[in-house]
Amino acid sequence: MLSLEGDHSRWPAEFVISDLTGLSGIPDLPPLTATYIIDPADGKIPYQPWAAAKRQEFIADMLSPTKREHVDPFTRGFLPGVPRINYIFGRIQILQAPGYVVMLYEQNSTYRVIQLDGRPHIGENVRLLNGDSRGRWDGNTLVVDVTNQDARTWLDWLSFHGDRLHVVERWMLAGPDRIDYRATLTDPTMFTQPWTIAFRINRFMDQGYELWENPYSTERDVERILRGGGLAGRRKE
């Protein structure tokens, strides 16, 4: 259960955030107390005061859930939303066709079709769990503009967002086996400023690897979580 926030000083001393190594085929995972946030420098999501106060209630409900809405939507089988889909555990396959980039994910049978033909976003009254993605090439960087996201998805297991979340992703080909990923998140109704996350995605090097779906069927899991009192209930055992 990765949290975006943390302390840059918690990264292992031999690594720097812009130059992690390894060939995992998935985003490099920091220690649980580290962070993907590179701006602002304190590694914190810049919630406005009202949203920061609401977040405390949100975390309390997540730790001791009494309603289905208090359980992580990813655990409930929802699509994770953007950018979270890119740092939930699992591999990513990227396909290219004229006018499109398609991304296939192992988790929750998720895929994204990113159109590159310059068409406008869908109407703002339509909300999608993974949002509406429109892409363009800037040299060797795929820039993806993501709008129309559904507020029911979460940023991570401790952080929420609203339906005005605007994400601009930059997928930069940094070498034959590496993509440097960066995403800037904006919502002037919830955040005090735009903020940015960054990490590396490495090519998976195993020969003959086949991407399989990992669908979730979680009705019983959610029932067990609610009966057991969530994480707070587990700590009492």
Check residue 6 and give its pLDDT: 61
Q: Examine the pLDDT at 177 and tell me if it is beyond 70.
A: yes
Q: 0.75 exceeded by the pTM? A: yes
Rounded-to-integer distance, Cα 100 and Cα 114, Å: 6
The answer to whether the beta carbons of residues 134 and 145 sit under 8 Å apart is yes
Check residue 30 and give its pLDDT: 46
Find the mean pLDDT for residues 35-58: 91
Query: For residues 1 and 145, which has the higher predicted lDDT (pLDDT)?
Result: 145
Check residue 81 and give its pLDDT: 95
Domain ranges of the chain: 8-228
Find the mean pLDDT for residues 156-170: 94
Check residue 109 and give its pLDDT: 79
Q: Examine the pLDDT at 1 and tell me if it is beyond 50.
A: no
Q: Examine the pLDDT at 51 and tell me if it is beyond 80.
A: yes
Half-sphere exposure of 74 (CA within 13 A, CB side): 23
The answer to whether the beta carbons of residues 24 and 54 sit under 8 Å apart is no
Q: Examine the pLDDT at 213 and tell me if it is beyond 80.
A: no
Beta strands in the chain (DSSP E): 37-39, 92-97, 100-105, 111-115, 132-138, 141-147, 154-156, 159-160, 166-175, 178-186, 195-202
Half-sphere exposure of 69 (CA within 13 A, CB side): 5
